[in-house]
A = this chain, B = another copy of it.
C-alpha cells in the first residue's frame, strides 16, 4: 500500500476533514487484492473503496472481429451497503440505472484512451469496478484503480505470451480526480458531504504527460465562469499528478 498524503503540500485547512482545498484524501492502492483475476486492485481514496479487476480474454466481440484491433470495456456497480442508506440491487430491479450506465461508459472510454488497440491485438480486457464503500469520487477512484489492474492484466498477458509487450500497449498512464466549487471556493477531491453541496462538480481524467482524456463538468446549482474553470483544471492537474505518483509506487512495489 502506498499513502500519498505526505506528497501533497498543505494549503489552508478549512474542510470538514481538515484538508487544505488543494489536498487529496489519503489514497492507498493494493494489488493482488484477490487471487484469480489477471489484475485485481483495491483502491481506497479516503473512505471510498473500490475493488477493480481486469479480465484478459483472447478474442474480441463479434463486431470487432478480423480488425486486428483489441477492445477494452468496463462495468461499474455499487454493493447495496456501499452507501449509508441501503440501495436496492440493480439485478433485483431488473435493469441497470442511468447513473451506472453513464459511469461504466466513462471508465471504459478513459482507459481506451491510453490503450494502443493495434498493439493489444484481437484481445479483450474487461474492467469491473465494484464499490465496497462510497464516500464521493467513486468514478474517479474506479478509473485510477482500474488503470493499475489493467497494467497487471497486460503484464500477465505478456508473461503468458498473449501479447508481445505490455509497455507497447500502454500509450500513457491515466488517472482521474474530482474537483468542485463549494461556497464559491474551488476544491480538490470531494467526499460525499462536500459533493452534495457543490455548485459545480467536475471529473477530470489526465494522462501521465498532462493531457486530458475526459473532462465532465456540470453545474446544476450555479453556472461556472471561465475563470473558475481554469482554477478547477489547475486543481485537477495537481491531484492527478499525485495519484499517478501513487500508481507508479504501487506498480513498482
Q: CB within 8 Å of B: which residues of A? A: 34-37, 40, 47, 49, 51, 53, 55, 57, 75, 77, 79-84, 86, 89-102, 104-105, 109, 112-113, 126, 128, 130, 132-133, 172, 202, 207, 209-221, 223-226, 229, 233
Question: Is A81 touching B53 in the complex (CB atoms < 8 A)?
Answer: yes
Question: Is B47 touching A220 in the complex (CB atoms < 8 A)?
Answer: no
How far, in angstroms, from A145 to B96 measured CA to CA in the complex?
A: 28
Question: Is B113 touching A223 in the complex (CB atoms < 8 A)?
Answer: yes
Using Cβ atoms and an 8 Å threshold, which residues of chain B touch A93?
91
How far, in angstroms, from A209 to B80 measured CA to CA in the complex?
A: 33
How far, in angstroms, from A55 to B132 measured CA to CA in the complex?
A: 15
Residue of B nearest to A37 (CB): B81
Using Cβ atoms and an 8 Å threshold, which residues of chain B touch A89?
75, 77, 91
Question: Is B223 touching A212 in the complex (CB atoms < 8 A)?
Answer: yes
Question: Is B224 touching A212 in the complex (CB atoms < 8 A)?
Answer: yes
How far, in angstroms, from A133 to B32 measured CA to CA in the complex?
A: 12
Question: Is B75 touching A109 in the complex (CB atoms < 8 A)?
Answer: no
Residue of B nearest to A53 (CB): B81
How far, in angstroms, from A99 to B109 measured CA to CA in the complex?
A: 13
How far, in angstroms, from A86 to B112 measured CA to CA in the complex?
A: 20
Take A34-B81, A47-B35, A133-B34 as given contacts and tell me if A86 and B220 are in contact as well, using a CB distance cutoff of 8 Å: no
